């Protein structure tokens, strides 16, 4: 079986797929033969991802999706299943952040971040898992972070949300393993994406200095981990939070 046939006849859903890690993941699933639901609030970015997939001979559908809305997630999932006939894989990757010390962070900003990063992952799994059970099994990958394992000044909301993603992942994995649905998370270190580019240079330099591999990661490297976790090679892997961090957490 060639790489392009690995996920042939399967359907994948990727959130935050309009740029960065999500775009790379959508392209990777499509390159392995899956039809992909490209989900994002950024219409221009999402449609660009679809165009790239189609230009490479793949199948994809853009779904404007605010993951913090249960109704929007349900509509995206229903449209994807109506179009392609099922759901087998998901990479719940949409995320955002807010920078402020804990004692200065507004309630509105804290809530906004958790609604996307944590509630969004829950809502996606809430609507994805029943469809995967109907399909006889499936695999979900949630994007956590190195900050799911430690703390980071000025990132209270982001850190709290990613700790929550790790907990949700492990809980769902325990609940559904015996029914054929595997649930894992990937914890990226410093990856060069549009979102990380918005951080102050000194903060990025501090994180990168701890990635003992000596360089920043690329979105395609996280996508490779996500597709591996969804593949048969990872059939024994569930409940894992896989660090793809250049050795950051080995300190």
Q: How many CB atoms lie within 10 A of CB 64?
A: 16
Q: Which residues contact 52 (CB under 8 A, 6 or more apart)?
A: 23, 27
Residue 176 designated active-site: no
Annotate 23-37 with b (16+ C-beta within 10 A) or e (fewer).
bbbbbbbbbbbbbbb
Q: Which two tokens stand for residue 248?
A: 């950051």
Q: Which two tokens stand for residue 212?
A: 């003992």
Find out whether 109 and 98 touch, Cβ atoms under 8 Å: yes
Catalytic residue, chosen from 158, 176, 190, 248, is 158
Of 163, 140, 130, residue with least CA distance to 239 = 140
- The residue to which tokens 């957490």 are assigned: 249
Of 208, 191, 16, residue with least CA distance to 96 = 16
240: helix, coil or strand?
A: coil
Q: Which residues contact 209 (CB under 8 A, 6 or more apart)?
A: none
Q: Give the catalytic positions in this structure.
A: 158
């Amino acid at each position: 079986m060639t790489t392009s046939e690995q996920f042939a006849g399967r359907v994948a859903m990727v959130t935050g797929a309009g740029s960065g890690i999500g775009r790379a993941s959508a392209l990777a699933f499509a390159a392995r033969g899956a039809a992909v639901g490209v989900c994002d609030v950024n219409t221009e970015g999402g449609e660009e991802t679809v165009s790239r997939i189609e230009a490479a001979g793949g199948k994809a559908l853009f779904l404007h999706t605010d993951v913090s809305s249960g109704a929007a997630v349900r509509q995206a999932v229903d449209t994807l299943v109506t179009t392609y006939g099922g759901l087998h894989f998901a990479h719940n990757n949409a995320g955002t952040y807010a920078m402020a010390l804990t004692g200065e962070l507004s309630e509105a900003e804290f809530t906004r971040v958790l609604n996307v990063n944590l509630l969004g992952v829950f809502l996606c799994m809430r609507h994805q898992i029943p469809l995967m059970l109907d399909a006889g099994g499936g695999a979900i990958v949630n994007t956590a972070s190195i900050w799911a394992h430690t703390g980071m000044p000025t990132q209270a909301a982001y850190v709290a949300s990613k700790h929550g993603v790790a907990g949700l992942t492990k809980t769902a994995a325990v609940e559904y393993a015996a029914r054929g649905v595997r649930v894992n998370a990937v914890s990226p270190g410093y990856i060069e994406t549009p979102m990380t580019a918005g951080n102050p240079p000194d903060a990025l330099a501090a994180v990168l200095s701890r990635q003992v591999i000596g360089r920043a990661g690329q979105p395609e490297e996280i996508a490779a981990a996500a597709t591996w976790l969804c593949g048969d090679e990872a059939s024994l892997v569930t409940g894992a939070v896989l660090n793809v961090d250049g050795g950051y957490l080995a300190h």
